[in-house]
Chains A and B, each alone.
Chain A
Amino acid sequence: EVQLVESGGGLVQPGGSLRLSCAGSGFTFSSYWMHWVRQAPGKGLVWVSRINSDGSSTTYADSVKGRFTISRDNAKNTLYLQMNSLRADDTAVYYCARGIGAATVFDYWGQGTLVTVSS
């Protein structure tokens, strides 16, 4: 059974940093492109970032470019999102999701981890 389990969310002050993790199991993690998608409370879905299967290529939404870094450790079957210079509008549930091939469409999602940016 495919499972994605996020961790690392919490309350952080504006300007602070947080690192999210997503542990994958039940599939060959190193074969899949992986993504982060976020959802502000009561709002819609917003794609944040993606990384290819070997970690050599990454892409970001303009809203997080230069502040967030996606990475992966295929030996540990884990995806990361390093978030710096956090702002109030980064407050959201962050989901990791598995891509279908190189397409930015997601067949499995984690349960999400809540990041709250507030003083």
Chain B
Amino acid sequence: DTVMTQSPDSLAVSLGERATINCKSSQSILNSSNNKNYLAWYQQRPGQPPKLLIYWASMRESGVPDRFSGSGSGTDFTLTISSLQTEDVALYYCQQYYSSPSTFGQGTKLEIK
């Protein structure tokens, strides 16, 4: 199985500042035939189901604020929140869907400093 490793495990950022979460896959999740990275990011607030933020590594889901962006290719990926808001306090998960079984990172807890 492809192992997804997120860093850091937890992160505290001041309101209005940038938050960066990293995700590394144990093997490449880039499909060279279509040049797509099979990587998604989800946000999970306490007591809620996950919410899709980003897929194909950088495509923002409809309705997701543009302060959320995804980047990276191959095995190294980043979720960036450009200006942290109070409602962004949550757990964040990356997920690869290139190979079966699809696997998730362990999660990164984002808090306000």
Q: Do residues B49 and A95 form an inter-chain contact, with CB atoms below 8 A?
A: yes
Q: Which of B75-113 contact A (CB under 8 A)?
A: 93, 95, 97, 100-107
Which listed residue (B51, B95, B101, B107) contacts A109, Cβ 8 A? B51
Q: Do residues B105 and A44 form an inter-chain contact, with CB atoms below 8 A?
A: yes
**For residue B40, which residues in chain A have a CB less than 8 angstroms away from its CB?**
105-106
B residues contacting A by CB (< 8 A) are 38, 40, 42, 48-52, 55, 61, 93, 95, 97, 100-107
**For residue B52, which residues in chain A have a CB less than 8 angstroms away from its CB?**
105-107
Q: Do residues B101 and A44 form an inter-chain contact, with CB atoms below 8 A?
A: no
Which listed residue (B42, B49, B61) contacts A112, Cβ 8 A? B49
Decide if A88 is an interface residue (CB 8 Å cutoff): no
Decide if A11 is an interface residue (CB 8 Å cutoff): no
How many residues of chain A are within 8 Å of chain B by beta carbon? Answer: 18
Q: Give Cα distance in the complex from A93 to B45, angstroms.
A: 15
Scoring A45, A46, A59, A110 by chain B CB atoms within 10 A of each residue's CB, the highest score goes to A45
Distance to closest chain A CB from B29 (angstroms): 12
Q: Do residues B103 and A47 form an inter-chain contact, with CB atoms below 8 A?
A: yes
A residues contacting B by CB (< 8 A) are 44-47, 59, 61-62, 95, 100, 103-107, 109-112
Q: Do residues B51 and A45 form an inter-chain contact, with CB atoms below 8 A?
A: no
Given contacts A44-B107, A45-B104, A47-B103, contact A104 B50 (CB under 8 A): no
Q: Do residues B104 and A104 form an inter-chain contact, with CB atoms below 8 A?
A: no
Q: Do residues B95 and A61 form an inter-chain contact, with CB atoms below 8 A?
A: no
Closest to A99 in B: B97
Q: Do residues A110 and B49 form an inter-chain contact, with CB atoms below 8 A?
A: yes
Q: A44-B93, A47-B104, A106-B52 are in contact. List 4 more A-B contacts (CB 8 A).
A: A103-B38, A107-B61, A109-B51, A112-B49
Q: Do residues A46 and B49 form an inter-chain contact, with CB atoms below 8 A?
A: no
Closest to B99 in A: A104
